[in-house]
């Protein structure tokens, strides 16, 4: 929505009323096709982390390695299968152990929304199987008068002594806009439901962002943005090592042009550059007899250019993506006798990825109440491993360079009949293996305790997808059922290699990434809401997923039957919320991939807030408790079955003007 907002601001000044109407319409279309989450806060908690916010979505689940930087799974698929972008910019983590998903490099006070698209509908940003998650940054619109706005939020969470301060400030005028944000979070170790301390679960995060926009003409604007994020001394209780320092610098410059007439309504082009560095630390773990340095770097530059088209009942988005990424990760092991020579290898041997894609989404309003969407993308993916000799150890003679063509197609039909709406769709798409899957070298996975070896010759993963939804809505209630099914050919997963011996101290063997003939993933979600009284609202959600490999064995990290239900009561300036969420027993777990059965759990949360105004300043006070009953539990996706946080009392205070 970034450009949407910017767009509106410019539009307020547009002289042609006809253009104003049309462009507003364009915006609507964009909004309809995007299944965006509205505000970065959940009903329970107003000061959430990006992870907590994402967790409230029905098609997102998480792999958790600690209290920080959760890996988002979209449609029960890991991050290799989805494209995660910040305002359409590709950023790649620098950690071979996935300690730094892209979501860890932003903060809730510099985001406006998170746009989640399921399956091939998400191919606008690049080739994908699971879909796309686009983190949209805040950007204040131009205003006719000079205006300042801002917010400051602080809070304390008792369980892990998390103290946070988030501030953001904007200035806007007719020609010029400045957005800035800054945040600090500091947390100690958390305590589980048995009141035991979970050591190595602390974290420290600093994030700041700045954005400048300048209106170059009534219909065009330039904008430069930068985010700087730094996390240090972050514990990962489920891993044998922690994070010493992780830094990211994410920059972009964009130019947007609006058109009053013609087919093209908006054209927005952005160039970007981002650099991520990541340094792990295993010196704080006494169980490590061996010390090892594992630094990683990921540098990406790219271009994203998009246009919105509209004529009559037809509207479309076209997007061109191009990026170049260089991923480097090193392993340096220290012998017990430190005077002796260290041992060195690359876990990512300077792997370059160049990717270009052209994607288009088209929609036709066939009638008042039906719409057809048709989209496609064509991508080109190129990889080069500079020190290919590392890859040759397991794949002798494999080419140093590899090119792939990644096509994608999707179609859907939406129908509204009175208060009911229905949709059905299908998709087809390819994705290329990730850097680790293709070129990883002895990457230690502490979940199954294997060292993983990439395979540059892996085939493209090919997804065939079908989805459908049906819903009913009136003033009093709403109910919606959504389901999707993926049949994925050449599904990439690690398989035990009978040859080779492990390199990492704690590993038990070597696994190579290989392609299963196919895998099948089925997701279903049921959402309902009911307004019991004018100020008493109920919401519920039920999700279920099932995933199998080509031998009908279970795939790992698939969410069991789970539920979320909440009541929200408002009285004058008070609000009270209570929610219950949990998973049923994980019946379809995968021992083959290192999983054991996770028992059922149920968590009760409550919170209350009070809001009032002092002059132009709105103040909200909130206090609440998560896991009120102090249940001891871990979820199906908790790496190494580490227990989750026990009872956590949180308080926060927010000023905004």
Partner 1 sequence: MKKAIFFLIPVCLSVMSCTKEKTDYEAEINMVVTEHYEFKEAAAINIDDYHISIEALNGTFYKGYNEIRLKISGANTNENINAPAVTFLPVMTNADGSRASCPHRYNLVYNADDKYFPGYAVFTGESGTNETWELYISFTINNQSHSVKQAITVQEQTNKNLNMTTFTGKDSEQYFIALVAPQKPKVAENELVAGIYKFNEPTSPPSGSFPDPSQFSYSEVSDYTLQLDPRMPEPSMGNHSSINNKDLTQQDDGLYHGVVNYTMTGNWTLNFIMLNQNGKILKGTEVPTDFTPGVEGVKSELYIDILF
Q: Is 73 in the site for Cu ion (CB under 5 A)?
A: no
Interface with partner 1 by CB under 8 A: which range of 153-161, 185-193, 343-351, 636-644?
Answer: 343-351
The rounded Cα 347 to chain-centroid distance in angstroms is 24
Residue 342 interacting partner from Cu ion, partner 1, none (CB closer than 5 to 8 Å by kind):
partner 1
Contact set for partner 1, span 616-655 (CB under 8 A): none
**How many chain residues interact with partner 1 (CB under 8 A)?**
51
What 3 state SS string does 205-236 have? EEEEEEEEEEEEECCEEEEEEEEEEEEEEECC
Residue 99 touches which member of partner 1, Cu ion, none, C-beta under 5-8 Å by kind: Cu ion
Residues 404 and 456: their CA atoms lie apart, in Å, by 11
Picked from Cu ion, partner 1, none, the partner binding residue 632 (CB below 5 to 8 A depending on kind) is none
* 280 binds Cu ion per the rule CB under 5 A: yes
- Piece in contact with partner 1 (CB under 8 A), picked from 103-111, 315-323, 338-346, 629-637: 338-346
Report 266-325 residues binding partner 1 (CB under 8 A): 275, 277, 279, 289-290, 295, 297
x/- map, 205-234, partner 1, by CB under 8 A: -----x-x-x---------x-x-x------
Nearer to partner 1, 500 or 540 (CB): 500
Candidates 55, 331, 443, 637; binder of partner 1 (CB under 8 A) is 331
| The only residue of 167, 188, 399, 502 in contact with partner 1, by rule CB under 8 A | 502
Query: Which residues lie below 8 Å from residue 227, measured CB to CB, with a gap of 6+?
Result: 86, 105, 106, 110, 137, 207, 208, 209, 248, 249, 250, 251
Among 144, 335, 591, 599, binds partner 1 (CB under 8 A): 335
Q: Which does 97 bind (CB under 5 to 8 A by kind): partner 1, Cu ion, none?
A: Cu ion
CB 345 to partner 1: min, Å: 4
Nearest to 227 by CA among 261, 273, 271, 269: 273
Q: Stretches 107-115, 274-282, 423-431, 487-495: which one binds Cu ion (CB under 5 A)?
A: 274-282
CB atoms within 10 A of CB 606: 15
Lay out the site mask for partner 1 across 147-176 (x = CB under 8 A, - = otherwise).
-----------------------------x
Residues 75-104, mask of contacts with Cu ion (x by CB under 5 A): --------------------x-x-x-----
Asked if residue 399 binds partner 1 (CB under 8 A), the reply is: no
From the list partner 1, Cu ion, none, which binds 442 (C-beta under 5 to 8 Å, kind-based)? partner 1
Binding range to partner 1, per CB under 8 A, among 131-139, 189-197, 327-335, 617-625: 327-335
Q: Provide the Cα torsion 99, 105, 109, 115; round to 10°.
A: -90
Beta strands in 282-342 (DSSP E): 291-293, 295-311, 314-334
Per DSSP, the three-state class of 535 is coil
Binding partner of residue 506 among Cu ion, partner 1, none, CB cut-off 5 to 8 Å per kind:
partner 1
Minimum distance from residue 347 beta carbon to partner 1 (Å): 10
Residue 508 site contact among Cu ion, partner 1, none (CB < 5 to 8 Å, cut-off depends on kind): partner 1
Closer of 296 and 408 to Cu ion (Cβ): 296
Query: Could you give the dihedral angle defined by the CA atoms of residues 393, 243, 158 and 617, in that order, rounded to the nearest 10 degrees?
Result: -110
Taking CB positions, which residue lies at the least distance from Cu ion? Answer: 95
Select the binding partner of residue 536 from partner 1, Cu ion, none (C-beta < 5 to 8 A, by kind). none
Q: Which C-beta is closer to partner 1: that of 17 or that of 396? A: 396
**Closest-CA residue to 105 (of 116, 118, 91, 95):** 91
Which residues on neighbouring strands pair with residue 211, listed in sequence order?
179, 225
Applying CB under 8 A, the span of 115-123, 132-140, 384-392, 399-407 interacting with partner 1 comes to: 384-392
Residues 423-452 that bind partner 1 (CB under 8 A): 442
Cα distance between residue 117 and residue 467, in whole Å? 12
Q: Which is nearer to partner 1, 178 or 424 (CB)?
A: 178
108/507 with CB nearer partner 1: 507
Residue closer to partner 1 (CB basis): 274 or 564: 274
Sequence-distant (≥ 6) Cβ neighbours of residue 171 within 8 angstroms: 140, 146, 147, 148, 177, 178
**How far, in Å, are 195, 270, 274, 477 from residue 110 at the CA level?**
34, 19, 17, 33
For Cu ion, which is the closer residue by CB, 446 or 469? Answer: 446
Supply 430's token pair: 């390819």
| Strand-strand pairing, 82-86 and 131-137 | parallel
Percent composition of the chain: helix, strand, coil (DSSP 3-state, to 5): 10, 60, 30
The residue from 203, 219, 394, 444 that contacts partner 1 (CB under 8 A) is 394
Angstrom distances, CA of residue 359 to CA of 16, 268, 366: 31, 15, 22
Which of 295, 553 has the CB closer to partner 1? 295
Instruction: Give Cα 374 distance to the centre of its chain.
Output: 25
Residue 483 neighbours by CB under 8 Å, 6+ apart: 467, 468, 469, 522, 523, 524, 525
Decide: is 396 part of the binding site for partner 1 (CB under 8 A): yes
CA distance 331 to 327: 14
Longest dimension (CA), the chain: 78
* Residue 330 binding partner 1, by CB under 8 A: yes
Listed in sequence order, the residues at least 6 apart from 234 whose beta carbon sits closer than 8 Å to its beta carbon are 66, 68, 69, 99, 202, 203, 204, 205, 242, 243, 246
- For the stretch 185-188, contacts whose Cβ atoms lie closer than 8 Å and that sit 24 or more positions apart, written own/partner, are 185/49, 186/162, 187/67, 187/68, 187/157, 187/160, 187/161, 187/162, 187/163, 188/160, 188/161, 188/162
Produce one character per residue of 67-98: b if its CB has 16 or more CB atoms within 10 Å, e if not: bbbbbbbbbbbbbbbbbbbbbbbbbbbbbbbb
Of 63-71, 110-118, 497-505, 644-652, the segment contacting partner 1 by CB under 8 A is 497-505
Per-position x/- string for 239-268, each x denoting binding to partner 1 as judged by CB under 8 A, each - no binding:
------x-x-x-x-----------------
Q: What length is written for the chain?
A: 657
Q: Which residues bind Cu ion (CB under 5 A)?
A: 95, 97, 99, 280
Please give the residue ranges that form the binding site for partner 1 (CB under 8 A): 176, 210, 212, 214, 224, 226, 228, 245, 247, 249, 251, 275, 277, 279, 289-290, 295, 297, 328, 330-336, 340-346, 387, 389-390, 392-394, 396, 442, 499-503, 505-509
């Amino acid at each position: 929505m970034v450009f949407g907002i910017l767009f509106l601001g410019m539009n307020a000044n547009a002289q042609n009323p006809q253009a104003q109407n049309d462009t507003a319409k364009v915006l609507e279309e964009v909004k309809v096709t995007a299944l965006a989450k509205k505000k970065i806060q959940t009903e329970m908690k107003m000061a959430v982390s990006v992870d907590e916010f994402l967790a409230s979505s029905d098609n997102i689940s998480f792999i958790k390695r600690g209290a920080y930087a959760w890996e988002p799974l979209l449609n029960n698929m890991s991050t290799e299968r989805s494209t995660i972008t910040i305002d359409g910019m590709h950023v790649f983590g620098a950690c071979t152990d996935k300690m730094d998903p892209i979501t860890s490099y932003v903060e809730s006070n510099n985001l406006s929304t998170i746009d989640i698209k399921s399956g091939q509908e998400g191919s606008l940003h690049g080739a994908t199987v699971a879909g796309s998650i686009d983190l949209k940054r805040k950007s204040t619109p131009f205003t006719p008068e000079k205006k300042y706005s801002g917010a400051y939020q602080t809070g304390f969470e008792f369980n892990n002594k998390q103290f946070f301060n988030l501030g953001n400030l904007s200035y806007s005028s007719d020609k010029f806009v400045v957005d800035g944000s800054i945040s600090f979070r500091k947390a100690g170790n958390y305590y589980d439901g048995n009141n035991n301390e979970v050591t190595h679960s602390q974290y420290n995060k600093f994030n700041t962002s700045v954005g400048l926009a300048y209106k170059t003409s009534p219909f065009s604007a330039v904008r430069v943005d930068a985010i700087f994020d730094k996390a240090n001394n972050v514990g990962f209780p489920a891993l044998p090592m922690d994070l010493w320092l992780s830094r990211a610098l994410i920059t972009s410059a964009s130019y947007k042009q609006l058109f009053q007439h013609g087919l093209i309504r908006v054209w927005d082009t952005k160039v970007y550059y981002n650099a991520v560095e990541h340094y792990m630390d295993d010196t704080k773990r006494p169980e490590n007899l061996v010390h090892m340095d594992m630094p990683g770097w990921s540098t990406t530059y790219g271009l994203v250019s998009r246009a919105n088209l509209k004529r009559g009942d037809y509207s479309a988005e076209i997007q061109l993506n191009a990026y170049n990424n260089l991923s480097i990760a090193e392993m340096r092991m220290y012998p017990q006798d430190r005077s002796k020579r260290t041992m060195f290898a690359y876990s990512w041997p300077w792997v370059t990825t160049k990717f270009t894609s052209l994607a288009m989404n088209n929609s036709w309003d066939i009638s008042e109440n039906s719409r057809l969407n048709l989209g496609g993308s064509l991508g080109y993916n190129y990889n080069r491993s500079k020190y290919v000799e590392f890859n040759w150890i397991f794949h002798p003679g494999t080419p140093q360079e590899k090119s792939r063509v990644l096509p994608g197609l999707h179609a859907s039909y939406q129908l509204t009949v009175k208060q009911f709406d229905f949709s059905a769709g299908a998709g087809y798409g390819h994705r290329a293996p990730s850097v680790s899957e293709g070129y990883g070298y002895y990457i230690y996975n502490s979940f199954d305790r294997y060292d993983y070896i990439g395979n540059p010759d892996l085939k493209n993963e090919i997804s065939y997808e079908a989805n459908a939804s049906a819903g009913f809505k009136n003033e009093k209630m709403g109910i919606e059922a959504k389901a999707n099914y993926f049949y994925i050919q050449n599904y990439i997963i690690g398989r035990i290699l009978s040859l080779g011996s492990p390199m990492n101290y704690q590993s038990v063997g070597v696994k190579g990434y290989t392609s299963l003939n196919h895998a099948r993933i089925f997701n279903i979600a049921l959402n309902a809401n009911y307004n019991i009284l004018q100020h008493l609202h109920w919401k519920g959600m039920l999700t279920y997923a099932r995933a199998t490999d080509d031998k009908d064995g279970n795939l790992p990290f698939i969410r069991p039957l789970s539920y979320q239900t909440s009541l929200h009561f408002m009285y004058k300036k008070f609000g009270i919320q209570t929610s219950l969420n949990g998973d049923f027993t994980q019946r379809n777990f995968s021992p083959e991939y290192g999983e054991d059965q996770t028992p059922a759990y149920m968590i009760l949360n409550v919170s209350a807030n009070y809001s009032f105004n002092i002059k132009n300043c709105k103040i909200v006070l909130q206090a609440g408790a998560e896991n009120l009953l102090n249940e001891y539990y871990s979820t199906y996706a908790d790496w190494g079955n580490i227990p989750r946080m026990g009872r956590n009392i949180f308080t926060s205070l927010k000023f905004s003007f």
